[in-house]
Structure 1
Amino acid sequence: MSAAPDGVRIIPLEEKYIESYHRCLDAVARERKFIAFVEAPPLDAIREYVLANLAAGALHFVAVDGEEVVGWCDITRLKWEGFTHCGRLGMGVSKDYRRRGIGRKLMEAALRKAEEAGFERVELGVFISNAPAIKLYETLDFVVEGVLKKARKLDGAYDDVLLMARFIEAT
């Protein structure tokens, strides 16, 4: 466990936090600008997804204020032959908790565990309109690998997706 600003704790996701994680995920999704979907899947689907991912060794950290999840960062190992050295990163932070270093702490915890777990590459996609996230990723040694032009069309507006990756040296 590590401490983030304002007494927020960064911890591995446990089953008891799934409902709170679902609320956080849904709140970020309903902002319609940071993650790929615009509302969270049903709670039962999230519970099944999280438990299956945890059982498969996915790295899933949450930021907790009291007992409420206010952010998350997960890295899921790719399953296809020839790609199992790679992980896909997803993250989000609740609106009232942004710009406090919580996203950085979440990513640092997940990336540390990714290195311990033998990942060699962690990749992500980020909307090009999300400049603060791109800046954070760059400070954590993610590099741009490409752009998916007009990848998302929502409410009549297009957004490109920036593809980024970080390579982890074998120790």
Structure 2
Amino acid sequence: MTISVRKAVPGDGKAIIECLNDSCNGSCNECVNKYACNNKFFPQDAMFIDKKLSMNNGSTIVALDKDLAVGLALFTVNKFSKTRHRAECGWFVRKSYMKQGIATKLVTALIKEAKKKGLKRLEAESAVGNEASLRLAEKLGFKKEGIKQKALMLDNGKLEDTFILGRIL
């Protein structure tokens, strides 16, 4: 298996939706991605995703196993004048492709793209219990900057704390 990583382009919308939905079996209590349920969180319209990919307010990086999208990382630039130097970012890998270094490749490429666009800071938020994501973030230079209490509401109504993560570029 050879994984390639590249910038997502209009036309990738359908593959991105399939990637995000692959880990959703409808049982939100056992979902691998319970912290950002993509079935509810992400639009299901490929044309909408393709339109977003053509906008100039961020960047999306996609990991591919041949033609199959197996993960993505993205950032959205803050357009307000005093905060236009920073962007919010996140990442996701299909359940069957986790623990193979794909998220590391994705976020590394995302950091490179953010620097290329002249950004000075990336920000992320991760559930306190999402150990894999926290390990990745810290390995790639993100620092824990604080905690948001009860910042995340799961489908069962349970509130969880999140870490605020930041990386100076």
TM-score range, shorter chain: 0.7 to 0.9
Q: 1:42 to 1:156 in 2, by over 3 A?
A: closer
Would you say the 8 A contact 2:10–2:54 is kept in 1?
Answer: no
Residue of structure 1 in register with 2:108 after alignment: 108
Q: Structure 2 CA distance, aligned partners of 1:52 and 1:38?
A: 18
Q: 1:160 to 1:143 in 2, by over 3 A?
A: same
Structure 1: gaps spanning 5 or more residues: 1-5
Q: 1:126 to 1:38 in 2, by over 3 A?
A: farther
Residue of structure 1 in register with 2:142 after alignment: 142
Would you say the 8 A contact 2:9–2:53 is kept in 1?
Answer: no
Residue of structure 1 in register with 2:123 after alignment: 123
Q: TM-score, normalised by structure 2?
A: 0.86
Structure 2: gaps spanning 5 or more residues: none
1:155-170 equivalence runs, <5 A: 155-168=156-169
Residue of structure 2 in register with 1:83 after alignment: 83
Helix, strand or coil at the partner of 1:109: helix
Q: 1:151 to 1:40 in 2, by over 3 A?
A: closer
Picking from 5, 8, 11, the partner of 1:13 is 8
Residue of structure 1 in register with 2:44 after alignment: 43
Q: 1:51 Cα deviation (Å)?
A: 2.3
Tell me if 1:25 matches 2:26.
no
Q: 1:68 Cα deviation (Å)?
A: 1.3
Would you say the 8 A contact 1:28–1:34 is kept in 2?
Answer: no
Would you say the 8 A contact 1:125–1:164 is kept in 2?
Answer: yes
Q: Structure 2 CA distance, aligned partners of 1:55 and 1:156?
A: 34
Q: TM-score, normalised by structure 1?
A: 0.85
Q: 1:25 to 1:137 in 2, by over 3 A?
A: same
Q: Structure 2 CA distance, aligned partners of 1:130 and 1:66?
A: 29
Tell me if 1:34 matches 2:35.
yes
Would you say the 8 A contact 1:152–1:158 is kept in 2?
Answer: yes
Q: Identity of counterpart residues, as a percentage? A: 24
Helix, strand or coil at the partner of 1:150: strand
Would you say the 8 A contact 1:18–1:47 is kept in 2?
Answer: yes
Give the aligned residue type for 2:165.
Answer: M
Q: Which moved more, 1:50-59 or 1:159-168?
A: 50-59
Residue of structure 2 in register with 1:58 after alignment: 58
User: Where do 4+ consecutive residues of structure 1 move more than 4 Å?
Assistant: none
Give the aligned residue type for 2:59.
Answer: L
Q: Structure 1 CA distance, aligned partners of 2:113 and 2:157?
A: 39
Q: 1:166 to 1:21 in 2, by over 3 A?
A: same
Helix, strand or coil at the partner of 1:79: coil
Query: Root-mean-square deviation (CA), in Å?
Result: 2.0
